[in-house]
Amino acid sequence: MSSDAVAHAIRELVLANRILAREDVIDDFGHVSLRHPERKDRYFLSRSRSPVAVTADDIMEFELDGTPVAQNGRRMYSERALHSAIFMARPDVTSVIHHHARSVIPFTVVRTLQLKPIFHMGSVMGAEVPLWDSQPEFGDTNMLIDDLPRGHSLARALGGNRSVMLRGHGACNVGVNLRAAVFTAVYMKHNAEMVLASLPHGTPEYLTPGEVEKTAAMLLSDMPLARAWDYWITRAGYGGV
């Protein structure tokens, strides 16, 4: 029987799915997970379904290695391996998002492009965003992170950061809570758009490291996260929920 904390976590995770779909961060194939609020060795993630359509009934519970607690015949995301690997490597992380936000793709395939915070909101993704490439370690693949070895490799590239990019594929963002992870994913997308828009016109002045640190600390706190959440659920059609 699920506790209030679990019921709340699942409700928030469903909203996060809908928000990330509405904000065009996640398309048909991304996903967002949330660590179990009462068991650090488990996490919640939807069954294999597009986030735009995820409901509470779709949320499944997984062991840290990706084994479903109760599969009940449901199909699962093969890429849950990346959630598993990151939750294992990063005890501080409570939520993981994987997406193919269109504006991030150029930064994963043009090696001279750098993704750095260009406006205050972009500070949340971190001062630098590492890039993971499947080729050196795994050669030609189907580009997915669908087993633990690739997941662990990706987690190593992420390191202690809040964001990592995947060559020719997309990105992952993590947060100390669900809202922080969503905030980071949404503003990584916007920051990438603005870097692409600025570069043809000259060299932009990025935020200084000190600005990134102070601004991110301010933004990833309760009040800004609550205001953004309110904004997103209103846009996603859940205002007043």
Closest by CA position to 95, among listed 19, 195, 168, 167: 19
List helix spans (H) across 79-221: 80-89, 105-109, 135-138, 148-158, 178-198, 209-219
Which of 8, 39, 41, 239 is close enough to bind its own copies by CB under 8 A? 239
Q: Does the protein bind its own copies through residue 231 (CB under 8 A)?
A: yes
Q: Does the protein bind its own copies through residue 28 (CB under 8 A)?
A: yes
Helices and strands of the chain, counted as H and E runs: 8, 7
Q: Which residues pair with 173 in a beta bridge?
A: 97, 163
Which of 136, 160, 202, 237 is close enough to bind its own copies by CB under 8 A? 202
Annotated active-site residue in 12, 23, 38, 79: 79
d(CA 83, CA 169): 16
Q: Does the protein bind its own copies through residue 241 (CB under 8 A)?
A: no
Active site residue 79: yes
Q: How many CA atoms lie within 13 A of 162 on its CB side?
A: 27
Which of these segments, 6-14, 59-67, 91-99, 138-146, binds its own copies (CB under 8 A)? 138-146
Task: Give me the residues that bind its own copies (CB under 8 A), please.
Answer: 27-29, 48-50, 52-53, 75, 100, 102-103, 105-106, 108-113, 117-121, 123, 135, 139-144, 167-170, 190, 193-194, 196-208, 210-211, 214-215, 217-218, 223-224, 227-228, 230-232, 234-235, 239
Active site residues: 79
